[in-house]
Amino acid sequence: MIKHKEQRVGVLIDVSNMYHSAKNLFGKKTNFKEILKQAVAGRKLIRATAYVIKTEKEEEFPFFEALSQQGFEVKMKDLQIFAGGAKKANWDIGIAIDAVKLADKLDVLVIVSGDGDFLPLMSYLQNNKGCLVEVMAFGKTTSNKLIEEADDFIDLGKNKDFLID
Q: Domains plus CATH for the chain?
A: 8-164 (3.40.50.1010)
What average pLDDT is seen over the chain?
93
pLDDT for 31-49, tens place per residue? 999 999 999 999 999 999 9
Mean local confidence (pLDDT), 123-150: 97
If pLDDT is split at 50, 70 and 90, which confidence band does 88 have?
Answer: confident
Q: Do 9 and 110 touch, CB atoms closer than 8 A?
A: yes
> Kind and range of the H or E element at 22?
helix 15-26
**Residues 133, 126: contact at Cβ < 8 Å?**
yes
d(CA 141, CA 143): 7
Residue 89 pLDDT level (bands cut at 50, 70, 90): confident
Q: What is the pTM of this model?
A: 0.93
| Cβ–Cβ under 8 Å, residues 127 and 119 | no
The 3-state secondary structure of 26-81 reads: HCCEECHHHHHHHHHCCCEEEEEEEEEEECCCCCHHHHHHHHHHCCCEEEEEECEE
